[in-house]
Amino acid sequence: MRSVRARTALGATLVVALALVAAGAALLMVLRGNLVDQAGLQANISARSVAVQIAEGTPFAGLDLPDDTEEHPVQVVDGEGRVVAIGEDIEAIEGTGSTAVRAVAAGAGEGDGGGEVSDDVTYSTGDVTVDGDRATYRFAAVKAEGPRGEATVYAGAPLSTATLTGVRDAMLAALPPLLLVVAGVTWLVTRRALKPVEGIRREMAAITASEDLSRRVPEPATHDEVARLARTTNETLAALEASVERQRRFVADASHELRSPIASLRTQLEVGAAHPGLLDVPGAVADTVRLQRLAADLLLLARLDAGERPGRTRVDLAALVRDEVGQRSGDRVAVAVDAEDGAEVAGSRGQLARVLGNLLDNAQRHAESAVTVAVRREGRQAVLTVADDGAGVPEAERERIFERFVRLDDARSRDEGGAGLGLAIARDVAARHGGTLRVRRAASGGALFELRLPVAD
């Protein structure tokens, strides 16, 4: 069964069927218990009425037994197990003290004193045939002690199964229509509840066929699980659309950035091939280096986008800053270092060095006369800042500069080959290390980039 509606309707019907069968069985048991109790009470009353006669000294042959034997069959058994009195027209009897259906003559017995009737009563069940009709009875056995000896009175009351049979037949007759109603109602309710899901499915199929990620699935006006599913689906589509658009823009920007150095390098090589004396070797090397850096940046971004997780090596940020700054011999502006020891983080030393290098490169392009790198620890965070005394970053552009291939006009005019990927890489690496990278205004008026990372345990 592939249909959710069919499975739901079948499951609900089975559950209701089991519940009804269990409830019906319990009801029949309760009814049967009540019938047995009522029959036992009637049998007890009949048995005691005869037992009282025996206790008062009435001869066995003269006992006043109930006239309606079919309703109240009675058998009296003496202390020796002989049937001394029995109801009329009884042809067979079970469940009593004896299966005999003929009374024997008992001794007359003598005595003036009154007897007694036992307070105890025992119950049994047996079949009795009266005038050719066989039925089941509930017997009550009561002992009586009289002047003529001890005897046990067995009096029965019919266990009428007609009521139980009628109730059972009525329940069995009503069960199929009731189950059909349950199945139909469940089918309709499930169909109505799943109708928005079918709309979502159709729209998703159309989106898949058209590859138009700008479309959205319909959102029901309800506030149930289906509505939340539709909203989550639309949020997923929006994120997927943004991701695809970002990927397209990334490919387009990367192609644009690669086109210029490749065209320049090709032109220089073609000129060199035709006129070897005019070959600009330094220019060709510079274009090759630029291509190499751009390819490395694109490869790193691709690995980051693929979800590559950094290592868990302990990195001392203060030592990292000193090592990286000490290796930068061609900086236009001297870099001042203020690094406190004790700020260790867990991650990739190479990637964190790349972040620091990108921030220093950015500061060198914009600084007037000073670049400062500081490292400190604040609670459970290690903080690395890179500040310059340049023009700073306008507040409206402080998030945009972290986008890929984004360079402000002022930076583009002074850029010496940057592709606008350095800050994007730095923020992605910071996020992969569980940290943040933000920019604000420095005390000197320039830009201050702040990298915050959780300290290593």
Please tell me the pTM assigned to this model. Answer: 0.52
- Same domain for 23 and 154, yes or no, is yes
Alpha-carbon distance 92 to 126, whole Å? 10
Structural domain containing residue 279: 225-302
Q: Which amino acid is at 232?
A: T
**Nearest 10 degrees: Cα torsion 92, 97, 98, 99:** 20
Q: Which of 114, 146, 164 is the last residue of a domain?
A: 164
Q: Which of 142, 164, 186 is the last residue of a domain?
A: 164
What is the distance in angstroms between the CA of the first residue and the CA of the last residue of the chain?
54
Predicted confidence at residue 411, as pLDDT, reads: 45
Total domain count, the chain: 3
DSSP for residue 309: P
Predicted confidence at residue 2, as pLDDT, reads: 67
Predicted confidence at residue 412, as pLDDT, reads: 44
Query: Which among 61, 263, 237, 51 has a CA at the least distance from the CA of 154?
Result: 51
Predicted confidence at residue 1, as pLDDT, reads: 56
| 3 state SS of 328 | coil
The strand ranges marked E within 311-457 are: 313-316, 335-339, 344-347, 371-378, 381-388, 436-441, 447-454
335-339 vs 371-378, strand pairing mode: parallel
- Same domain for 104 and 14, yes or no, is yes
Q: Is residue 194 part of a domain?
A: no
Cβ–Cβ under 8 Å, residues 105 and 86: no
- Residue 217, C-beta contacts closer than 8 angstroms, at least 6 positions apart: 199, 200, 203, 204, 230, 233, 234, 237
3-class SS shares of the chain: helix, strand, coil, % to 5: 50, 20, 30
- Same domain for 320 and 411, yes or no, is yes
Q: Is residue 180 part of a domain?
A: no
Alpha-carbon distance 63 to 76, whole Å? 10
135: left (phi over 0), alpha (psi -120 to 50) or beta: beta
Q: Is residue 324 part of a domain?
A: yes
Q: Is residue 181 part of a domain?
A: no
- Same domain for 296 and 315, yes or no, is no
Predicted confidence at residue 226, as pLDDT, reads: 84
Angle at Cα 91 formed by Cα 72 and Cα 38, nearest 5°?
25
Chain center to CA of 98: 67
What CATH number is attached to the domain comprising 327?
A: 3.30.565.10
- Same domain for 346 and 294, yes or no, is no
Alpha-carbon distance 235 to 223, whole Å? 16
pLDDT tens-place string over residues 74-120: 999 998 889 999 998 899 999 998 999 898 876 555 555 568 999 99
What CATH number is attached to the domain comprising 251?
A: 1.10.287
Quote the tokens at residue 96.
């009593």
| 3 state SS of 442 | coil
Q: Which amino acid is at 118?
A: S
- Same domain for 10 and 139, yes or no, is yes
Predicted confidence at residue 315, as pLDDT, reads: 93
Q: Which of 242, 271, 302 is the last residue of a domain?
A: 302
Quote the tokens at residue 25.
């069985």
Alpha-carbon distance 271 to 325, whole Å? 39
Q: Which amino acid is at 128?
A: V
Residue written as token pair 């639309």: 234
Q: How far is CA 257 from CA 282, 283, 404, 410, 419, in A?
A: 20, 17, 12, 18, 7
Please identify every stretch of the chain with a pLDDT value under 70, giving residue numbers as ranges: 1-2, 106-114, 161-162, 408-418
Residue written as token pair 């037992």: 51
Angle at Cα 385 formed by Cα 367 and Cα 427, nearest 5°?
95
- Same domain for 316 and 433, yes or no, is yes
Give the other-Cβ count within 10 Å of 265's Cβ: 18
Predicted confidence at residue 112, as pLDDT, reads: 53
